[in-house]
Structure 1
């Protein structure tokens, strides 16, 4: 069994939060793209960011 593909950090240049259109930060440990402005963390599955609001995890403002 092979490891899941890693997220291509160059994608961060093109991706923005679908709610606020703000920039995202990459959390490598959690495999998420984080929008602090919206308070949401979007999962990355098999190297693909899932930018659907319904799939995002709410985060606290102080995380």
Structure 2
């Protein structure tokens, strides 16, 4: 039954694709990049990664982490 738990976790952390189309960076109003593996929305313009918890993007600056040089190289 581990598979059920894993699927349940993926479902609760998944973000609605239509919502992703509408969201922009709250600071720069630019498009965001969805990183499903890290469960983050990336704002290259602001240099921030906004976390997604339980399927809900936390779109406040205090919740975001600054992007590293490695993050910029990966994009």
Question: Normalising to structure 2: TM-score of the pair?
Answer: 0.75
String of CA shifts for 1:24-47, please: whole Å, max 9, x gaps. 010000000000110000000000
Cα distance in 1, alignment partners of residues 22 and 31 from structure 2: 9
Question: Normalising to structure 1: TM-score of the pair?
Answer: 0.88
What runs of 5+ residues in structure 2 fail to find an aligned partner? none
Pairs aligned (count)? 63
Report what 1:29 is aligned to: 37
What runs of 5+ residues in structure 1 fail to find an aligned partner? none
Q: Using CA pairs under 8 Å that are at least 6 residues apart, name the structure with larger relative contact order, 1 or 2.
A: 1
CA RMSD of aligned residues (A): 1.4
Larger radius of gyration: 2
